[in-house]
Amino acid sequence: MLTDCYPRVSVKWLEEKNAENIFYNLLSPDPREVAIIESLVLYIFKCWSEISVLFIKAATTIIQNFIDGFHTFYGINSVLKFLDLYFRTCQSKWDESMNTMVLTKFLPIFLSNFAYKYYPSLNRILSYAYSKNDNLAVQVMSKMIRCWPITCSSNIVCFIHHFSSIVTLVGPVKIAPYVTTMFTRIIESVKSDNQKVAVSALTISCNVTFIFEFVTKFSPLVRALYAAAEETAANHWSEEARSAAKQALISINNAALQIKLVSPPVPQNDKPEKLSSWRSLSQQFGIELIGTVPAC
């Protein structure tokens, strides 16, 4: 039925609620069925762009139901993958309705207890949105800081990674009010006994480009991060975390050469010892030292 032989008949059939019904089948718990529906949705989307509006309607309904607790997590990844594709191929200008969708649909999922299940798709969608409107990154950062997932290590890992996405796309100036809190969270995570959290925070600390962004205006925070990595390298129970911390120390120092994180060795004041040796030798050979400098 969905062939090029009868395109208008197919479109009419899809427009009569069937497109939305097809899309809702993405909620199936059967991965084989979901794979078939994904292929069908993609085919329809490519062949009849006018149907995408119906898919968007169904997608936003599914996400809202998920946010409201009416559905399980089945199908959400498929829906997010479709929306990511839609945004990246959409010919229309990024507008306020898309900003609203980011803040009312994607952000609540990101702040939910299940964010780690959908993070790869969420990160792609949010990063693309920031490239279109960097004010969205500021709003998301604000929410992340206020809703930090204290007890869910998997979500903490996602949040730490997303810090890097935001900084890469919008830079430190745009998010300046939140930089101190962001570094505080990263430093806390570097010191965490949870290996997964510590390694995640140390991984972002190994990102020379990320660290370099903050060297000039936020050098005390970079120093504090370096100190935390030193502590972890010396004391963490996990060998993986200790190894990651040692690599982070190298990367942070390379990114911040101008603030001299590694103190130069203190020269030994051996002048008095040398002078004493010369005096001893002079006495043995009957030589008088002239113009000696008193010891400091």
Mean pLDDT value across residues 148-176: 96
Q: Is the pLDDT of residue 255 over 80?
A: yes
Which of the residue ranges 25-34, 152-161, 265-274 has the most confident prediction, judged by mean pLDDT?
152-161
Token representation of residue 289: 């030292």
Q: Is the pLDDT of residue 277 over 60?
A: no
Mean pLDDT value across residues 23-29: 89
154 band by pLDDT with thresholds 50, 70 and 90: very high
296 band by pLDDT with thresholds 50, 70 and 90: very low
